[in-house]
Amino acid sequence: MIKNWNAELIDIETAFLHGDMEELIFMDLPEGLNIIEGLDENDDEDCVILDECIYGTVQSARQWAKKFKQTLKKLNFEVSLLDPCLMSRSDEHGTSILCIYVDDVLIIGNQKAIDKTIEDIEQVFDIRKEGKLNDYLGCIIEFSDDNTSGTIHQPHTLNKLERKFKDVIKTIRNYETPSAPGSHLIRPKNNDLKIDSETQAMYRSGIGMLLYLTKHTRPDIANAVREHSRMMDGASKEHLNSLLRIIKYVIDTKNHTLKMKITRNDENLFNIKGYSDSDYAGNKDDRKNLTGLVVYCAGVPVAWKSKGQKTVSLSSTESEYYAISELCTEIIYIKQLLEFLQVTINYPIIIRVDNVGAMFLANNPVLSQRTKHISVRHHFVREFIEDGILKIVFVKSKMNHADIFTKNLSRDLYEQHKKSIMNGMEDKNDDNNDENDN
């Protein structure tokens, strides 16, 4: 949206038939081949050797990916070392960027470069042109008329979720948050009564659809879904009722979409900022901590996470420091992707944290009795701070956007944080409360 580029989709026809078979594979004679050969019937002892991939072989997907990658390299596309499904090319026609998902290809760039890319690919493969970007992998992408904002939502998945659970949730009242404020789920004990296998299958199905929504367009339910995903092997009646509350909430708020409102920089630089938070001993089963984070690129949320930490921390400072480390890995990955796309980034990248002790630990390579056990892998943050790539800034807890990914918040606080990442809510001038990036 910043460069006013276009985006179009193409589909490679019969993609898996293009791969070159590298292994020696024998196959029974296909039915009807005897007619072509002028024989009465196929001889059971006869077979054929596969020279090319066909649908149904385990090699077909990999061989297609290799063939398509080799073809694009011959067309002077550069393949990203971070993600082999991301490629780009710049020439006299302009810049074109390819995002590949099996046989679906998203092409982004100025129109001349897009047209040239489609023409080059069409000379090698049969393709189906699907036009302007609108529906990609189940996500509906819409842009404003001035191309400065947009939304992403998943009506197909939402409709599927509603069809499957509409009879189960019809008696549930409306809620303003996906989970009860301050609540925590605890795994059932061995002697606790669990739901039957049929209901458990329904439980897993609901979690699967919610996880797909969380991944792409509904970060606001990430913490609630994470909690329930721990019960996939055996949930209780209380867990099921809590899950149905989330589903009811999601269906009632299906008009809420991921926010894409570009924040432009006067110097035409990309601003990246991130928020991290931790809930100390938030997992009530094993007393491990929870990490929450969100990363904004040019004002648009591009990465978020709600997950449990792998180790038990001895203090909230240590827990928050681990969360900073997790956030930095996401930011560095995004930074490297943007560099591959030749995007100029505004440094330093701002990281917002609500724990002074964790900030001190990140900015000062000190050794103490309370921190000497922390693994070296978490201290890489200090190098990026010293190099001027990252800068850690304090933010009040109630203004920390990552708070929504670690706790079941009260209605007011939940809506405040949700408004920073989602559309479909009333504005309350939340942006004015943000700390100054400088």
pLDDT digits (tens, 9 = 90+) for 254-263: 999 998 888 8
Determine the average pLDDT of the residues in 61-90.
95
pLDDT over 90 for what percent of the chain? 70
Omega before residue 181 within 30° of 0, cis = no
Residue 436 above 50 pLDDT?
no
Beta-bridge partners for 9 = 106, 131
CA proximity to 153, closest of 166, 143, 139, 174: 139
CA proximity to 276, closest of 291, 297, 289, 296: 291
- For residue 400, name the pLDDT band (cuts at 50, 70, 90): very high
| Lowest-confidence region among 37-41, 281-285, 312-316 | 37-41
- For residue 64, name the pLDDT band (cuts at 50, 70, 90): very high
- For residue 275, name the pLDDT band (cuts at 50, 70, 90): very high
Residue 364 above 90 pLDDT?
no
Q: Which two tokens stand for residue 247?
A: 């589903």
Q: Quote the CA–CA distance of 209 and 305 in Å, as a whole number.
A: 17
Q: How far is CA 233 from CA 221, 239, 308, in A?
A: 21, 12, 18
Q: Where in the chain is the domain with CATH 3.30.420.10?
A: 264-407
Q: State the pTM of this model.
A: 0.88
Residue 404 above 80 pLDDT?
yes
Q: Quote the CA–CA distance of 273 and 241 in Å, as a whole number.
A: 37
Residue 106 above 90 pLDDT?
yes
Q: Is the CATH number of domain 264-407 3.40.50.300?
A: no
What is the pLDDT of the chain when averaged over all its residues?
A: 89
For residue 342, with 0-12 CB atoms within 10 Å meaning exposed, 13-18 middle and 19 or more buried, which class applies?
exposed
Determine the average pLDDT of the residues in 3-17.
92
- For residue 146, name the pLDDT band (cuts at 50, 70, 90): confident
With residue 360 as reference, give the H or E element that holds it: helix 356-363
Query: Using one digit for the tens of pLDDT, what is the confidence trace for 421-434?
Result: 998 754 444 444 44
Q: Quote the CA–CA distance of 306 and 401 in Å, as a whole number.
A: 12
Q: Where in the chain is the domain with CATH 3.30.70?
A: 6-137
**Fold annotation for 6-137:** Alpha-Beta Plaits (3.30.70)
| Lowest-confidence region among 297-301, 340-344, 431-435 | 431-435
Q: What is the pLDDT of residue 431?
A: 44
Residue 291 above 70 pLDDT?
yes
| Lowest-confidence region among 17-31, 54-68, 330-344 | 17-31
Pairing state between β 272-279 and 349-353: parallel
Question: Where is pLDDT greater, at 144 or 199?
Answer: 199
